[in-house]
Structure formats: C-alpha cells, structure tokens
C-alpha cells in the first residue's frame, strides 16, 4: 500500500463497502468514485457472462429432461424438468467413475512427486554450495524452451521400454518432477536472506534441518502454486494419456469423455453431464485453494 502523503487529507484505506468521502476535483487511488464503481461492475458482469456463461449453459443442458426440447430457439437457461438422470446414463455408457478414479490416481502421483522432488532440488540448487550447481541449473533452464509435444513420441518410447505403456503409472511417471517446478522452487528458496542460513549454521543446524525448519515454512505459497498447477495439469491433460493408454478400461476422464462423445453418443445432455463430471471437481479444488494461488501470484510464483 502506498502512503498518503498529503497531510491535509486523512489516510483513506480501502474499506470495502464504505463509499469514500471525496470532494469534487479531488483524486485518489485508494478511493473509487461511485460512477467509476458502476462502470467497473457493469464491465465485470459483462466479462463474467462471457467466461462463466458457457459453463452454466452446459450445466443447464445436463439437467434438462429427456422430453424437454433443448434446441429451442429462445434459449432457456433453467431446465423445465430438471433431472439428474443423464449423470446416471453416462455411468451406464462408459465407466465414468472409474475414469474419475484413474484421473485422481494420476493427479495424486504427479502432485506428490512434484512437491517432494521439486522442493528438494530447488532447495539444494539455491541454498547449498556445490560443484556442478550451475551446470545442473543450466540443464533445467535449457529444457524450458523445449515444448513438451516435441519429445512426446520418444517419451512414449521410453515409457514403453519400461513396460509401462497402457498403465496409469506410465501416464503419471514423466510428469512427476517438472523442470519448471524445480525452477519455481529454486526461485522461492532464493528469496530467503543468506544470513538466516548462516545463523542456523552457527547454531549447528545441518542441511536437512535447514530445509525442514527454515526453507519449507518460507516457501509455502510457492509450494501450493506448484501443487495446484500439478493437480490441474494432470487432471486436465489429454494428449499424453491419449497416447499412452490404449485400453478403454484404463482411460482417464479426458480421454474417456472424448471416447464418449466420439463413439457412443449424439445426445448433448449426456455429453453435458459427462463434461460436468470432469469439470466440477477441478472447480471445487481451485475455488477452495484460490487464495493460496493468488497469494503465490503476488509472491511472484507465476511467471509463465
């Protein structure tokens, strides 16, 4: 927050809900005029309609009864005969709950791997001195310019050589320690002053103790960003599981949804219900954790 330097004016803190008292012609950046507020909220609502509208429309379609005309020219958002029957029908068509479980297994493995592997490496690279540190760091940086799709075929060959083609573990494995996450953790650990380390060393703390008691507590924001993104990335991924998995029993949700829409169904209500099954969990995860995410953004954890 900037400091209000004008002594004639009391410091105005952004107080939600209270309209700021301002005279005409005055200006201030902690205060918002009523007119500006109205304009801002109108614009916010407009963008909200554009970003959230399609999801609501899909939700509405998934809840509309089989007898209800979903093709009406005047779109009706609220279902006339609301029903959950299509959610059951999806499960009768494809093993959608197994797919959800498969997605979850992959996501948990990827989150665990990244949180552990990336924080360990990030800590060592930023806070421990050792020969070869710069080289290792350079290797991690170098792979960032390489789009993942370029190596996806030979990655598949590697996973196949391990005997993991067509397995969920094969889907999770390559993403379990991402180079980008290592660099994010490296950056986060680096923002801690070196003096703290020196003090701990004087007190006789070894590297592991410095990692657990000094390093980790100071990078919680970045760890949550890494975890959130690893989860979302694994849950949403499509191309990689599509290449690795050939057996419909082992599909993850995204591949299963494509299977549903491509093979079985022209019923928009059914596909809508399927998409909601994949969409709602991720929204809940994100909505619950968003404050960590936005906090991480402020700490500079998101830089592309």
Q: Is 235 in the site for other proteins (CB under 8 A)?
A: yes
For residue 212, report the phi and psi dihedrals to the nearest 5 degrees.
Answer: -75, -45
Among 11, 38, 43, 80, binds other proteins (CB under 8 A): 43
In the block, which residue shows the tokens 């995860």?
285
Pick from 231, 224, 232, 230: nearest CA to 292: 224
Q: Is 19 in the site for other proteins (CB under 8 A)?
A: no
Contact 6, 24 (CB under 8 A): no
Q: Is 125 in the site for other proteins (CB under 8 A)?
A: yes
**Minimum distance from residue 285 beta carbon to other proteins (Å):** 8
Among 11, 133, 199, 248, binds other proteins (CB under 8 A): 133
Residues 271-300 that bind other proteins (CB under 8 A): 271-272, 274-275, 278-279, 282-283, 286-287, 290-291, 294, 297-298, 300
Q: Is 268 in the site for other proteins (CB under 8 A)?
A: yes
- Tell me the number of residues near other proteins by CB under 8 A: 104
Q: How many Å separate Cα 85 from the centre of its chain? A: 30
Q: Which stretch binds other proteins (CB under 8 A): 79-87, 88-96, 104-112, 269-277?
A: 269-277
Report the distance separating Cα 62 and Cα 141, nearest Å: 44
Pick from 96, 127, 109: nearest CA to 270: 96
Pick from 260, 209, 241: nearest CA to 94: 260
Residues 77-106 that bind other proteins (CB under 8 A): none
Burial 256-266 (b: 16+ CB within 10 A, else e): bbebbbeeebe
Residues 158-197 that bind other proteins (CB under 8 A): 158, 160, 173-174, 176-177, 179, 182, 197
Report the distance separating Cα 54 and Cα 191, nearest Å: 41
**Minimum distance from residue 92 beta carbon to other proteins (Å):** 19
Residue closer to other proteins by CB (options 213, 291) is 291
Q: Is 152 in the site for other proteins (CB under 8 A)?
A: yes
**Minimum distance from residue 291 beta carbon to other proteins (Å):** 8
Q: Is 44 in the site for other proteins (CB under 8 A)?
A: yes
Q: Is 146 in the site for other proteins (CB under 8 A)?
A: yes
Query: What DSSP string describes 45-112?
Result: HHHHHHHHHHHHHHHHHHHS-TTS-TT-SS--SS-SS---HHHHHHHHHS-HHHHHHHHHHHHHHHHH
Q: Is 75 in the site for other proteins (CB under 8 A)?
A: yes
Directed axis angle between helix 133-144 and helix 96-127, to 10°?
140
Q: Is 265 in the site for other proteins (CB under 8 A)?
A: no
Among 11, 199, 201, 212, binds other proteins (CB under 8 A): 201
Q: Which stretch binds other proteins (CB under 8 A): 87-95, 104-112, 216-224, 265-273?
A: 265-273
**Minimum distance from residue 262 beta carbon to other proteins (Å):** 6
Q: Is 157 in the site for other proteins (CB under 8 A)?
A: yes
Virtual CA dihedral for 21, 24, 25, 28, nearest 10 degrees?
20
Contact 102, 251 (CB under 8 A): yes
């Amino acid at each position: 927050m900037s400091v209000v330097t004008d002594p004639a004016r009391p410091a105005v803190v952004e107080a939600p809900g209270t309209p700021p008292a301002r005279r005409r012609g005055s200006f201030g950046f902690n205060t918002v005029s009523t007119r500006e507020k109205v304009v801002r909220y109108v614009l916010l609502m407009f963008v909200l309609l554009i970003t959230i509208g399609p999801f609501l429309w899909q939700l509405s379609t998934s809840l509309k009864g089989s007898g209800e005309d979903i093709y009406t020219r005047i779109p009706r958002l609220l279902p006339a005969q609301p029903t959950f029957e299509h959610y059951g029908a999806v499960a009768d068509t494809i093993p959608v709950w197994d797919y959800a479980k498969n997605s979850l297994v992959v996501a948990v493995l990827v989150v665990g791997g990244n949180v552990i592997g990336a924080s360990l490496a990030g800590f060592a690279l930023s806070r421990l001195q050792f020969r070869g540190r710069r080289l290792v760091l350079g290797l991690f940086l170098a792979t960032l310019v390489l789009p993942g799709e370029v190596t996806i075929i030979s990655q598949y060959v590697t996973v196949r050589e391990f005997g993991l083609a067509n397995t969920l573990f094969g889907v999770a494995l390559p993403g379990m320690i991402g180079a980008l996450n290592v660099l994010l953790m490296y950056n986060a650990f680096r923002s801690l002053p070196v003096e703290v380390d020196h003090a701990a060393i004087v007190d006789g703390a070894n590297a592991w103790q410095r990692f657990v008691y000094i390093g980790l507590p100071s990078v919680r924001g970045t760890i949550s960003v890494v975890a959130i993104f690893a989860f979302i990335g694994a849950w949403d991924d499509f191309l990689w599981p599509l290449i690795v998995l050939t057996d419909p029993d082992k599909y993850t949700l995204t591949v299963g949804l494509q299977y549903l829409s491509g093979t079985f169904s022209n019923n928009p209500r059914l596909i809508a219900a399927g998409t909601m099954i994949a969409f709602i969990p991720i929204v809940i995860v994100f909505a619950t954790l968003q404050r960590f995410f936005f906090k991480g953004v402020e700490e500079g954890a998101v830089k592309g």
